[in-house]
A and B are shown apart, each in its own frame.
Chain A
Amino acid sequence: MSFLNFLISGISLGSIYAIIALGYTMVYGIAKMLNFAHGDVIMVGAYICFFAVSRYSLPPLVGILVAMVICTLLGIIIEKLAYKPLRAAPSLAVLITAIGVSYFLQNAAQLLWSSNPKVFPMFFQRMVSKTTPDGTVQIVPVNGIDLFGGELRVSYVTIVTILVCLIIMLALTAFTGNTKMGKAMRACSEDKDAARLMGINVNTTISVTFAIGSGLAAIAGVLLCSAYPTLVPTTGSMPGIKAFTAAVFGGIGSIPGALLGGLMLGVIEIMAKAYVSTQLSDAIVFAVLIIVLLVKPTGLLGRPVREKV
């Protein structure tokens, strides 16, 4: 039973990595750039939702929508100011700029919202009335489902995260496969110059990619902080890096790969902690990553890229 419990913990941690990895992988797949600021857009989304819900007492769903709108706008602004002027520059310049944006967002958040940790409210719970042994009826919050008479416990956050992951994955696949903008995105990802010759507005396409990626970041931020409720300006950075690892693990650029990579990374991490050593878990996670990349350099589901000579 404890194995199944650890598996569930692994999946819930992995689903968080997966949802962040989706944003990374989409932007990389289309714009061919590593948006290291993605983790920090997640943090901004979580803060916006936190303030909307606990300061202005908006309902959680409205809070998430507000966070999505603001993050989308933020993504567009970042893209306009920081990345667009570097469209023709070498990719290293854009990478460094992205790291700059990441620090900028972290420090701006620190100035605006201070570095004192904030505890994110619980969204995913329901109130049930319970009869205590002495006969009184109490209303208590329940935040998960018990299976096998309480031996196993799956929290609502995990279920919601996995569902949201699947929905986003399917929606993105449908979007890039069927809509005009989606097709333009795929064309840009194949070959920007050829796409431009075909009359596709490459600039707009990449801007839209960023807008969508940032909107997804807001959802990821809310789910991240619902699962692990301490919110500080650096909340997004470490999960961001782990999620980036997950995206590479699954094959960067591949949307199902992000989901698979995220889940596997989470499960490996928890299993390593549970059965090997809590001290060595990160070393084991990254050792597995190295082995996978040695055997399959493009990641689990990545497509091999042929170098054109």
Chain B
Amino acid sequence: MMKKALAFIMAMVMVLALVACGNSNTDPQTAPDDTTPTETTAFKIGGTGPLTGGAAIYGNAVKNAAEIAVEEINALGGIQFELRFEDDQHDAEKALNAYNTLKGWGMQISLGSVTSKPCEATATEAYKDRIFSLTPSASSTAVLVLDSDADPVTYKDNMFQMCFTDPNQGSASAQYIFDKGLATKVAVIWKSDDVYSKGIYDTFTAKAAELGIEIVSDTTFADGNDTDFSVQIADAQSKGAELVFLPMYYTPASLIFAQAKAAGFAPKWFGVDGMDGILTLEGFETSLAEGVILLTPFNADSGDAKTAAFVAKYQEKFGEVPTQFAADAYDCVYAYYQALTAAGCTTDMSAADICSAMIKQFTTMTFDGLTGEGMTWDATGAVTKSPKGMVIENGAYVGLD
């Protein structure tokens, strides 16, 4: 009898543990609307992102920075925001659950999702529900596209990005390598089951061909196959690549650096925004990333007063230097602030009404933020701003230009 009881308790504990993990943030703290009908003085911003799991560093950066921006804006006394951020563990299905939780809460405007795959899923729903979305960091074009089979391709009218789209990153990287004369023989290692990596890879290779940069080695890896890179490194090395382009997140990149060093291969490394964060890896020997070049719109070390104030506040609150993801999220909230003010939106408006006002604002306005001056958006939702080249020197980012 005891044993059965114990087994039952254990089973319950595990079920609860699983349930808790799935919805760790769905506390019933947000009371239903009927109990607090007058509490609608703040715009409800919702967003999903990986707060736990392998990509948690991005989700937490976005959440933290958005909180700072909301606090600052609320302290100004004008438009008020209420932020709610749900965990999606970088999983499309969990992101949809999180999105529905936010919808039930009464989300009026959205920060979309932090990473591309989940954001594709939530963007489709937000399009149907007419909730305006501005994602800080989901950079895949698929996030913006409504129907990729249509000719010409149609785009969701209410989905906007604060970050570069992947195609932009890929072609900008190739252009940068060409302009600075970094290499003529290039190797690419990319993640074949990741829309983010594939998107950058496609445009990088297209642009490289156009500019006459020779891609001598082209190798891939995938989930579950991302620990041993000896073959990819040997291929790049034996074909004489001078530069290796790494369109991927920093976790596999850290392994590539370590294994390349062990194999005695020391090319120039060139990363994309997913590389941002590698220096915060606990126990990572930063000398491995020495000389890594990446394109990013944000430089925490820049002398700019706004940036310095944000970095100081972030460091004080969260004990680390904010990454580009954090800066993008901070900009998102301020872009909303600017657009809502200009459109004269009020908190009692429905999400759909705010949505049409925001579409009009974002396609016409110019925004100055931490990640660029004079940003504009086109009707597809893609942003125009100029990337900055950065290089890692002595364990810190240094601007190249």
User: A residues engaging B (CB < 8 A)?
Assistant: 2, 5-6, 9, 13, 50, 54, 81-82, 84-86, 97, 100-101, 103-104, 107-108, 110, 114-121, 143-144, 150, 153, 155, 227-230, 232, 234, 238-239, 241-242, 269-270, 273-274, 278-279, 281-282
Most buried by A among B53, B228, B263: B228
The interface residues of chain B lying within 8 Å CB-to-CB of A278 are 192, 219-221, 231-232
Task: Say yes or no: A81-B10 contact (C-beta < 8 A), given A229-B258, A278-B219.
Answer: yes
Complex contact A119–B254 (CB within 8 A): yes
The 26 sampled A-B contact pairs (Cβ below 8 Å) are A5-B234, A6-B230, A6-B231, A13-B228, A54-B283, A81-B6, A86-B7, A97-B14, A100-B11, A104-B13, A104-B14, A107-B21, A115-B54, A116-B56, A116-B57, A120-B283, A143-B262, A228-B227, A228-B228, A229-B255, A230-B255, A230-B281, A232-B54, A234-B54, A278-B192, A278-B221
Most buried by A among B14, B192, B285: B14
Complex contact B52–A110 (CB within 8 A): yes
Complex contact A270–B224 (CB within 8 A): no
Complex contact B282–A119 (CB within 8 A): yes
Is the C-beta of B317 less than 8 angstroms from some C-beta in chain A?
Answer: no
- Please, how many angstroms separate the alpha-carbon atoms of A115 and B52 in the complex? 6
The interface residues of chain B lying within 8 Å CB-to-CB of A274 are 231, 234-235
The interface residues of chain A lying within 8 Å CB-to-CB of B21 are 103, 107, 110
Complex contact B230–A9 (CB within 8 A): yes
- Distance (whole angstroms) from the CB of A122 to the closest CB of chain B: 9
- Please, how many angstroms separate the alpha-carbon atoms of A278 and B228 in the complex? 11
- Please, how many angstroms separate the alpha-carbon atoms of A239 and B223 in the complex? 11
- Please, how many angstroms separate the alpha-carbon atoms of A282 and B123 in the complex? 32
Is the C-beta of B182 less than 8 angstroms from some C-beta in chain A?
Answer: no
Is the C-beta of B222 less than 8 angstroms from some C-beta in chain A?
Answer: yes
* Majority secondary structure of chain B interface residues (helix, strand, loop or mixed): helix
Of B6, B11, B223, B281, which contacts A116 at CB under 8 A?
A: B281
Complex contact B224–A117 (CB within 8 A): no
The interface residues of chain A lying within 8 Å CB-to-CB of B222 are 279, 282
Of B56, B220, B283, which contacts A115 at CB under 8 A?
A: B56
- Please, how many angstroms separate the alpha-carbon atoms of A117 and B238 in the complex? 31
Is the C-beta of B36 less than 8 angstroms from some C-beta in chain A?
Answer: no
The interface residues of chain A lying within 8 Å CB-to-CB of B284 are 119
Complex contact A279–B192 (CB within 8 A): yes
Q: Which residues B311-364 have CB closer than 8 A to chain A? A: none
Complex contact A107–B283 (CB within 8 A): no
Complex contact A118–B283 (CB within 8 A): yes
Is the C-beta of B306 less than 8 angstroms from some C-beta in chain A?
Answer: no
Task: Say yes or no: A104-B6 contact (C-beta < 8 A), given A228-B228, A274-B234, A282-B224.
Answer: no
Complex contact A100–B18 (CB within 8 A): yes
- Please, how many angstroms separate the alpha-carbon atoms of A150 and B237 in the complex? 14
